[in-house]
Amino acid sequence: MKEQLKELLENCMDHASTEELEVLTDILRGFHKKQNKINSSYIGGLLHMERTMDDKMCELTVPLTPLLNNSLGIVHGGMTATIIDSAMGTLANSLLPEGFGAVTTQLNIHYLSVGTGDYLQCKAHIDHKGTKSMVLSADVHRSDGKKIAQATGSFFIIKKK
Amino acid sequence: MKEQLKELLENCMDHASTEELEVLTDILRGFHKKQNKINSSYIGGLLHMERTMDDKMCELTVPLTPLLNNSLGIVHGGMTATIIDSAMGTLANSLLPEGFGAVTTQLNIHYLSVGTGDYLQCKAHIDHKGTKSMVLSADVHRSDGKKIAQATGSFFIIKKK
Amino acid sequence: MKEQLKELLENCMDHASTEELEVLTDILRGFHKKQNKINSSYIGGLLHMERTMDDKMCELTVPLTPLLNNSLGIVHGGMTATIIDSAMGTLANSLLPEGFGAVTTQLNIHYLSVGTGDYLQCKAHIDHKGTKSMVLSADVHRSDGKKIAQATGSFFIIKKK
Amino acid sequence: MKEQLKELLENCMDHASTEELEVLTDILRGFHKKQNKINSSYIGGLLHMERTMDDKMCELTVPLTPLLNNSLGIVHGGMTATIIDSAMGTLANSLLPEGFGAVTTQLNIHYLSVGTGDYLQCKAHIDHKGTKSMVLSADVHRSDGKKIAQATGSFFIIKKK
């Protein structure tokens, strides 16, 4: 399997553009972060998510690279959704006692501007905490300060098995 | 840069579990698909998206691997959102005359069940086509036939530069 | 109290335009429908909601009068929301065993066209029925057949006291 | 027509309960407010909406009466939606230059608690103002201070005819 992987990498590097080599470097570095438990998911690693958190809010920062772009060359709406759901989910889970988890049941995103610049920053807040469900909101800003998305999400509180 | 990449791969393979080696293989194969223009974005490649389309609907199929999971070990809500936004966006853009594009302005997703099994399949449909905007809907089913998500999205029609 | 009401009606009729007299007639007739249990809520009566239902869908028809208009002279988005929530809620509740009820936890509406013509017709369907929650969808058409709104809603299943 | 109206009122008052007479009084008083242009729509009048506004927010207060209840005896989700859409729409329109109007294209509401008590108070804010569209948010609190709903809405900016 390792020989096959080395060959695969050779194929990827062969005729690769500078952009492609940079994206590939980012991908492998991100994968390694997940291996080293710096990130708790492959996606978090590959997106190089960095987190700041307290009991009121969770902030995620993600550097912008071509890896996050759709085929039109702008940040994929699904990547923005991924950052939002990560920030909300992380905060929701942090607010629950041990043995309980929060799962997204509904997510509503308004896309306001094109995602460009150096990085995206997402801040999630808790709006409502009930006994069975929670509602959170999040804003996403780009590095020049412009808000590119805002969202609300509903989460079910479940007992972990 | 290529030497650095080889070294990075060595680091990733070192002490890697079987799951990690498989994910790494999927990642590099997916990256190569984007390079070979089999997929039009890195995300589409890494998720190994396959597409069927006519003028009424767009269907995307994505195999499930640990790459798509969140830190709880189930499909990340953001990955489901990415598949939905890709299917809707592809269909929306295909319905417009040359020189025009469709950008997501709002996305609302209901998460209904846990994403497990072999693959996810997303079908997007057009619900409303106006002169300035469109509304699309999408359902996501897993390989055992259970619906795991349903969504609606709004798209602005823009003139491409 | 009855004398006061008669005086109030006189005040309302005084200098009233034909439109105003017609709206007033509709209002009192609608109120009387609720009194006679033809409608189960004042709102249902005042909007002269008529219902067709089976175990798959609930259809509500509402005649359009100036009573439903906003200050711009077109159907108020809140009235469309009221018809949608009524249709979804009625269907959701009809699908539950005795002793259980369904309450709206989230409602997402896309407004597609201006509500004009003789009446609005709303059809609600069930999309997902879980043990704790349900998701329903609804379309609203006007009398000339054009779709003016589409919506999805989440409902919690609660035990009635 | 006026004779018919008087007879209708007699029918409504006949065998009416105290609650019904109170609701009827509220309805006629609200109708009269619209006639006297204290409210700009029949709905606003019937709900006895009162407004405070500056260039940053619009606040609407609505007293709670059985008129706003659904058949379960709690505030109808559509009534909460009506208050929200009114507050957002009023603020959106107030922010536009003469000759332009704002129409709701999408409304997403999270219902958090049961609407009870003396009144509901809705505060709408502007979140994003683009050249073609706006996004607003709103919270609804009941008289004991508990938040019962929160919402976001998208509005198209149109040229009035």
pLDDT at residue D96 greater than cutoff 90: yes
The answer, for D8 touching chain A at a CB cutoff of 8 Å, is no
Looking at residue A161, what is its pLDDT?
76
CA-CA distances (angstroms) from residue D77 to A45, B68, C25, C85, C156? 42, 37, 26, 6, 13
Name subunits touching B (3+ CB pairs < 8 A).
Answer: A, C, D
CA-CA distances (angstroms) from residue C132 to A97, B113, B141, B142, D159? 21, 12, 20, 21, 45
Interface contact D128-A150, CB threshold 8 A: yes
Residue position matching structure tokens 């309450």: C103
Give the gap in angstroms from C-alpha B107 to the nearest C-alpha of chain D.
10
Find which of B132, B137, B152, B158 to mutate to test the D interface (most D CBs within 10 Å of its CB).
B132
Say which DSSP state A75 is in. Answer: B
pLDDT at residue B161 greater than cutoff 80: no
Among residues B141, B139, B88, B137, the alpha carbon closest in space to that of B114 is found at B141
Q: What's the pLDDT tens digit per position in D12-47?
A: 999 899 999 999 999 999 999 999 999 999 999 999
pLDDT at residue A52 greater than cutoff 90: yes
- Average pLDDT value over all residues in chain A: 95
Structure token pair of residue B27: 């990642």
The SS3 call for residue B75 is strand
> How far apart are the C-alpha atoms of D78 and B77, rounded to whole Å?
29
Strand-pairing partners, residue C124, are C58, C138
The answer, for D111 touching chain C at a CB cutoff of 8 Å, is yes
Concatenated DSSP letters of A107-146: EEEEE-S---SSEEEEEEEEEEE-SSEEEEEEEEEETTS-
Looking at residue A15, what is its pLDDT?
87
> How far apart are the C-alpha atoms of C60 and C83, rounded to whole Å?
7
> How far apart are the C-alpha atoms of B77 and B55, rounded to whole Å?
28
Domain residue spans of chain B: 1-46, 47-159
What are the φ/ψ torsions at residue C25 (nearest 5 degrees)?
A: -60, -45
> How far apart are the C-alpha atoms of B49 and B58, rounded to whole Å?
12
Distance of CA D68 to the CA centre of its chain: 10
Interface contact A28-B8, CB threshold 8 A: yes
pLDDT at residue D99 greater than cutoff 80: yes
Alpha helices in A42-116 (DSSP H): 42-46, 77-94
Q: Which long-range contacts (CB under 8 A, 24 or more apart) does D9-14 make?
A: D9/C5, D9/C6, D9/C9, D9/C28, D11/C32, D12/C28, D12/C31, D12/C32, D12/C35, D13/C2, D13/C5
Lowest mean pLDDT among A151-155, B26-30, C134-138, D70-74: D70-74
CA-based max dimension of chain C: 56
Angle between helices B2-13 and B18-35 (to 10 degrees): 150
> How far apart are the C-alpha atoms of D74 and C72, rounded to whole Å?
29
Looking at residue C1, what is its pLDDT?
83
Q: What's the pLDDT tens digit per position in D144-160?
A: 999 999 999 999 999 98
Residues 26-55 of C with CB under 8 A from D: 27-29, 31-32, 35, 40-44, 46
> How far apart are the C-alpha atoms of D97 and C128, rounded to whole Å?
44
Looking at residue D151, what is its pLDDT?
98
Looking at residue B160, what is its pLDDT?
85
Looking at residue A95, what is its pLDDT?
95
Looking at residue D17, what is its pLDDT?
95
Q: What's the pLDDT tens digit per position in B51-87?
A: 999 989 999 999 999 999 998 889 999 999 999 999 9
> How far apart are the C-alpha atoms of D89 and D58, rounded to whole Å?
9
Residue position matching structure tokens 């008052």: D13
**Quick one: average pLDDT of A18-38?**
96
Give the gap in angstroms from C-alpha A31 to the nearest C-alpha of chain B.
7
Looking at residue D1, what is its pLDDT?
82
Nearest residue of D to residue A151, measured between CA atoms: D152
Looking at residue C36, what is its pLDDT?
94
pLDDT band at A104 (very low <50, low <70, confident <90, very high): very high
pLDDT band at B1 (very low <50, low <70, confident <90, very high): confident
Say which DSSP state D75 is in. Answer: B
The answer, for B114 touching chain C at a CB cutoff of 8 Å, is no
Looking at residue A123, what is its pLDDT?
98
pLDDT band at C72 (very low <50, low <70, confident <90, very high): confident
Q: What's the pLDDT tens digit per position in A130-141?
A: 999 999 999 999
**Quick one: average pLDDT of D109-114?**
96
**Quick one: average pLDDT of C141-147?**
97
Looking at residue B78, what is its pLDDT?
98
Q: What's the pLDDT tens digit per position in C86-141?
A: 999 999 999 999 999 999 999 999 999 999 999 999 999 999 999 999 999 999 99
**Quick one: average pLDDT of B29-37?**
96
Give the gap in angstroms from C-alpha A148 to the nearest C-alpha of chain C.
21
pLDDT at residue A87 greater than cutoff 80: yes
R_g of chain C, CA atoms, integer Å = 18
- D47-159 has CATH 1.20.5.510 classification: no
Looking at residue D15, what is its pLDDT?
87
pLDDT at residue C27 greater than cutoff 90: yes
Residue B52 has a CB neighbour count (10 Å cut-off) of 11
**Quick one: average pLDDT of D133-150?**
98
- Average pLDDT value over all residues in chain C: 95
The SS3 call for residue B23 is helix
Residues 71-110 of A with CB under 8 A from B: 71-72, 76-79, 81-86, 89, 101, 103-110
Share of chain C above pLDDT 70, in %: 100
Concatenated DSSP letters of B87-122: HHHHHHHHTSPTTEEEEEEEEEEEE-S---SSEEEE
